[in-house]
């Protein structure tokens, strides 16, 4: 589906959802080429807890389903409120690069704290092409975490 048409579909669907939720928000749809897919930033005071991931995750699920029905394609969507997800992603990238440098310098692996799947993915993608380190996820469920290790190759 053409990017402009996709943007219009997302905007129309979000306006309907926000009307149902009685939320008054402005938003901008930014199709991106990032691994996360379509990025949508909602701006304003939303849901009383503007950075509540559970609400955003539910809205992402509804939006992905609507887009799949409309286009027949799986389109990944990242919903953000007031740029919080984008800021967190930037923090994770800086953190991952700092930890990778520690691993390269000390030649010792580092096990990060447990984090949600989308944050682990950001770490893996960030470090995928960094020389001297490799990553893997360990653990299960809510205790799943990223391990950064020296690359022995």
For 16-29, write each residue's pLDDT tens digit: 877 776 666 666 66
Give the CA distances from residue 13 to residues 8, 17, 31, 48, 100, in Å, rounded to whole numbers and listed in that order: 9, 6, 16, 21, 41
- The boundaries of the domain holding residue 54 are 3-82
Does 14 lie in the same domain as 64?
yes
Residue spans of the chain under pLDDT 50: 33, 48-50
Where among 82, 117, 139 does a domain terminate?
82
Split into its structural domains, the chain has a count of: 2
Where among 82, 105, 131 does a domain terminate?
82
Assess contact for 123 and 96: CB atoms under 8 A. Answer: yes
Given this model, what pLDDT does residue 146 score? 98
Assess contact for 111 and 145: CB atoms under 8 A. Answer: yes
């Amino acid at each position: 589906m053409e990017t402009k048409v996709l943007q219009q579909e997302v905007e129309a669907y979000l306006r309907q959802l926000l009307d149902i939720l009685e939320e008054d928000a402005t938003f901008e749809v930014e199709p991106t080429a990032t691994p996360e897919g379509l990025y949508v930033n909602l701006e304003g005071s939303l849901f009383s807890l503007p950075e509540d991931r559970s609400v955003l995750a539910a809205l992402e699920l509804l939006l992905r389903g609507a887009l799949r029905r409309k286009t027949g394609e799986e389109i990944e969507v990242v919903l953000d409120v007031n740029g919080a997800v984008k800021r967190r992603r930037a923090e994770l990238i800086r953190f991952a690069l700092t930890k990778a440098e520690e691993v390269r310098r000390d030649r010792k692996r580092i096990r990060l704290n447990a984090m949600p799947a989308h944050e682990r993915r950001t770490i893996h993608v960030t470090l995928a092409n960094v020389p001297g380190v490799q990553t893997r996820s360990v653990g299960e469920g809510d205790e799943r975490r990223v391990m950064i290790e020296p690359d022995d190759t």
